[in-house]
Chain A
Amino acid sequence: MTIDFQPLPHVPPDRLKQIETALIADLKPVRPLASTGVYLAAFAGIMVAVCVIGCSVVGPYGWHALSQLQKFAVFVPLSATSALLGFSLVRQMRPAAMHARSSALLSVSIFVLLLLIMTVIFHPAQESAFVRQGLSCFRTGMTFAIPAAILFSLLLLRGAALSPLLTGATAGGLAGLVGLAALEIHCPDLNVYHIVAWHVSVTLVCIVAGLVFSSVTFRRWTSNH
């Protein structure tokens, strides 16, 4: 069976000329985006630097309080989630790159697994100042996450993210994981309720903040262009 296309509309020549003039007027050599490995290393470097510098200031009390099994069970999935989110972010910086969404989705699954592991390896305990101590931890987590988010944004500005909401949520999630990792190193409180309510919430709040921030900036950007 054959279907006829309607006559192919020609691009208006004046419009083509207009495009050519606009592009040629601003023609400058550009340096292509560095390889995935370079950006992945940059994201990892930021994460490690923020955690190490921050924890050396506030003290690695949590690290000493954790058993070997707990360290392994927390930091291995945390590193895997961070690596996947970092990989997804690097992919999102370039249009038509493969596996940007699938790795972000996979990282969510590993994060859920991390939550389940935490509920198994940490035990509930009574706390006299659950909210006060929790808020203090939450603030500490955010002071790690915010500088990380700013540094991630500077890297992301070099690329061209075509799905701003996904990129915002991913970057927020990665910054939140910096906060979570730093809290696990810093906070010696091993109460499961404290960890789930105040440590993990840093990541969740960062994801929402990333979504909101990217949504607002994207809306402003589209209304100005």
Chain B
Amino acid sequence: MEASRAIPAPSVTELEQLMVRYQQADEIAARSLIEQLSPQLYRFFAAQLGNPDDASDMLQDAWLRIHRVRHTYRAGEPLLPWVYAIARCVRVDSYRKRRRIAGREILVEVLPEPASASEEPSDLPTFDQLIAELPASQREVLTMLKVNGLTLEEVARATSSSVGSVKQKAHRAYERLRGLIQSPRSGKGAAT
């Protein structure tokens, strides 16, 4: 299985150097870092949520959090796991906050259900439709590995888990995806 369009990754060393200059209050480095990392982060949030507006809000939250804790990055350490660990935390916090708000909201009218992904007349489901069928932890690992182009070690660092655990989650995700692709109509059944 291969991704037909991966995000062109900027050089890791270059990003790490930019981060160090950002810590030293270099304005150009800060702008450059935001421009180079934002598309990756945006894609990370969008792949998890499927809603561009929420992804955009989370991107802003993530950058504010990165800015606040930028002193915790140490020169020479891998930058991407550090960034994704914060992004992951922002996503979880945002989910909790949204759930809390949703619990307080009163439903005034029932909105029509959007058409489900499996009802679209397509031979093969898209990547986003496929990963939406996966459990959150597998979706997260697969997004980091295949969409954001992180290595197994980087994903392990970002998720505070072991490489073995990441491999296991990725393997289970591939198994499910294989089942979904082979029988797209019975995809929901395979995902349970």
Contacts and interface: CB of A to CB of B under 8 A. Distances in A.
A163 B46 CA distance: 23
A35 B74 CA distance: 9
Given A94-B74, A222-B96, A20 B31 contact: yes
Q: Is the interface of B mostly helix, strand, loop or mixed?
A: helix
B59 A19 contact: yes
Interface residues of B, number: 61
A15 interface: yes
Given A2-B2, A160-B69, A96 B85 contact: yes
A15 B3 contact: no
Interface stretch (B9-17, B22-30, B106-114, B133-141): B22-30
Contacts of A125: none
Contacts of B88: 162
B4 A30 contact: no
Contacts of B173: none
Contacts of B124: 3-4
Contacts of A57: none
A96 B157 contact: yes
A6 B127 contact: yes
B4 A2 contact: yes
A159 B59 contact: no
A224 to B, nearest CB: 10
A98 interface: yes
Interface in B34-50: 34-35, 38-39, 42-43, 46
Most buried by B among A1, A15, A24: A15
B42 A32 contact: no
A123 interface: no
Interface residues of A, number: 44
Nearest to B2: A2
Nearest to B53: A12
Contact of B60 (A6, A19, A94, A98): A19
A115 to B, nearest CB: 27
B4 A94 contact: no
Contacts of A24: 27, 30-31
A11 B126 contact: no
B41 to A, nearest CB: 9
Interface string A145-169: 0000000000000011011000000
B71 A32 contact: yes
A11 B39 contact: yes
A80 B43 CA distance: 43
B4 to A, nearest CB: 5
Given A19-B34, A27-B25, A32 B74 contact: yes
B4 A11 contact: no
A162 to B, nearest CB: 4
A222 B93 CA distance: 7
A69 interface: no
Contacts of B127: 3-6
26 contacts: A3-B2, A3-B4, A3-B127, A3-B130, A3-B181, A4-B127, A5-B4, A8-B5, A18-B60, A23-B30, A26-B67, A30-B70, A32-B71, A32-B74, A33-B71, A35-B74, A93-B72, A95-B85, A95-B86, A96-B81, A96-B85, A96-B157, A97-B157, A98-B157, A100-B160, A160-B72
The 6 closest A-B pairs by CB, nearest first: A160-B69, A95-B85, A96-B81, A30-B71, A96-B85, A29-B25
